[in-house]
Structure 1
Amino acid sequence: MTWASFLAYLGVCVMVTLSPGPDTFLVLRFSLVRQFHGILAALGMVTAIFAWAALAGAGAASVMQSYPAVESAIAILGGLYLIYLGVSGFRKSRAVAKADNAIARTETRNIRANSGQRQTSRQAFIAGVLSAALNPKLGLLFLAMLPSFIPKDSNTLWWGMGLGAVFAVVGFLYLLILSTVASKAMHWFKKPEITLRLEMVACAALVIMGAGVLLSALL
């Protein structure tokens, strides 16, 4: 691979990473509760990215072309999962928002502390893995784009993993910055009402994106 090809690939990675998607809103939602959970969700996404890169290097693109039903099934599952994440998070936020303003501050702290204990690190990591693994756009990006950057007569699996690592590093750094900014902003405002509203916005975005993925798969 020439430096020109590598820089072109790096530019694509940056553009794809900076475009808002389910990964952005999922990490934002987790980070509003606890930054550590947002980082773990980002690590889960990185794990799924490596899996997509390995599949691309192993030649899974030809399989997807031969069996389009596989692509549709991934899209349907991905859309349903995003809707589930958004609805479940929205219900929790709405339950807190129903409290009176005087009680909301106290209950918000208690509820968020309890949810931080229940929402284990493992759950955050798995949510990140499933979100990226069931993202059909991310899968198609790797399966369609990655092979064109792999040099001919080379070990496609190792090259796929290497290029996937580049994408993973770029994506993780962006999500790490996003998680830090979200966490610091909430600490600076110190207003539970703002956090609740931002959580609702993030959850609504997940539902809308999930519905869009589901409709595109069905239609």
Structure 2
Amino acid sequence: MPTLIVVGMPFSALLGFAGVALVVALSPGPDTFLLLRYALNRPRNGVASAMGMMVSIMGWAALAGLGVAALLKTYPAIHQGIAVAGGLYLLYLGLGPLITARFLAGDTSATARIATRSLASNAGEFTFLQSFRAGMLSSALNPKLGLLFLALMPPFIPAGSNLLGSALLLGLVYTVIGFAYLMALTFVAARAVAWFKTPAVGVRL
């Protein structure tokens, strides 16, 4: 039975990787909560951060296509360094909002309402570029994505095919799935913005 080929790659390989990508995209992680942070500021900032994430994802795919997976096997300290840098960056992003949210939640309801309105009035504190850059850095320093592209992607690339081209094609599959999910999340956040911005919910996020 002939194998269906899509842009030089078996359709079964594309479908198999799409299944893996869907599971990874739907599993909550740093990118999910980062997107919520910016989408709650403004929906367009959520879109910007998602776009930044997709740029880094294509970067991960390109690295896989260039054979960086073999380099990381030889020098595992590089991957560990990425994980540590990612953790520090997430700590930086999360610590300030956490302290603010706990302060509001522990205050009187009247003061919390005033402070929340004050925060809402500063909705322009994040620019489109800032949101884009934060999303790009988050995905670039996310070890989960590094594992997906540098360890799980290579088996889906047929032997003898153009390694870089195949990797970029699989990266495109992930970006389509991931971006669609993040846009749905941005839409939900925009509709539920008042609930998400209550101090108690802020602490939990």
Indicate the percent of aligned positions where both proteins have the same amino acid. Answer: 46
What are the residue-to-residue correspondences of 1:6-85 with 2, within 5 Å?
6-85=14-93
The answer for the alignment partner of 1:93 in structure 2 is 101
Matched, 1:201 2:204: yes
Partner of 1:121: 128
Q: CA deviation at 1:153?
A: 2.2
d(CA) in 2 for partners of 1:144, 1:10: 15
Paired with 1:198 and 1:43, the residues of 2 have a C-alpha distance of 26
> Which residue matches 1:216?
none
How many angstroms apart in 1 are the aligned matches of 2:181 and 2:73? Answer: 32
Unaligned runs of 5+ in 2: 1-8
User: What does residue 205 of structure 1 align with?
Assistant: none
Q: Indicate yes or no: 2:152 matched with 1:152.
A: no
Matched residue type, 2:158: P
Structure 1 gaps of 5+ residues are 203-219
Post-superposition Cα deviations, 1:105-158, rounded to whole Å, max 9, x if no partner, equal 3432232221x2222222211111111111112102101121222222222112
Indicate how the Cα distance of structure 1 residues 144 and 170 shifts in structure 2: closer, same or farther if over 3 A, else same: same
d(CA) in 2 for partners of 1:89 and 1:125? 19
Partner in structure 1 of residue 4 of structure 2: none
- Out of 159, 164, 188, the residue aligned to residue 181 of structure 1 is 188
Deviations 1:21-65 (A, max 9, x none): 111111122222222222211111111100000000011001111
Distance of 2:101 and 2:120 partners within structure 1: 10
Kindly state the Cα deviation for residue 160 of structure 1 after the two structures are TM-superposed.
1.1
TM-score using structure 1 length: 0.82
Distance 1:93 1:36, change over 3 A: farther
Q: TM-score, normalised by structure 2?
A: 0.87
Amino acid at match of 2:130: Q
Q: Which amino acid is 2:89 matched to?
A: Y
**Residue 48 of structure 1 contacts residue 132 of structure 1 at CA under 8 Å; is this kept in 2?**
yes
The equivalent residue for 1:162 is 169
1:108 to 1:159, Cα distance in 2 relative to 1, 3 A: same
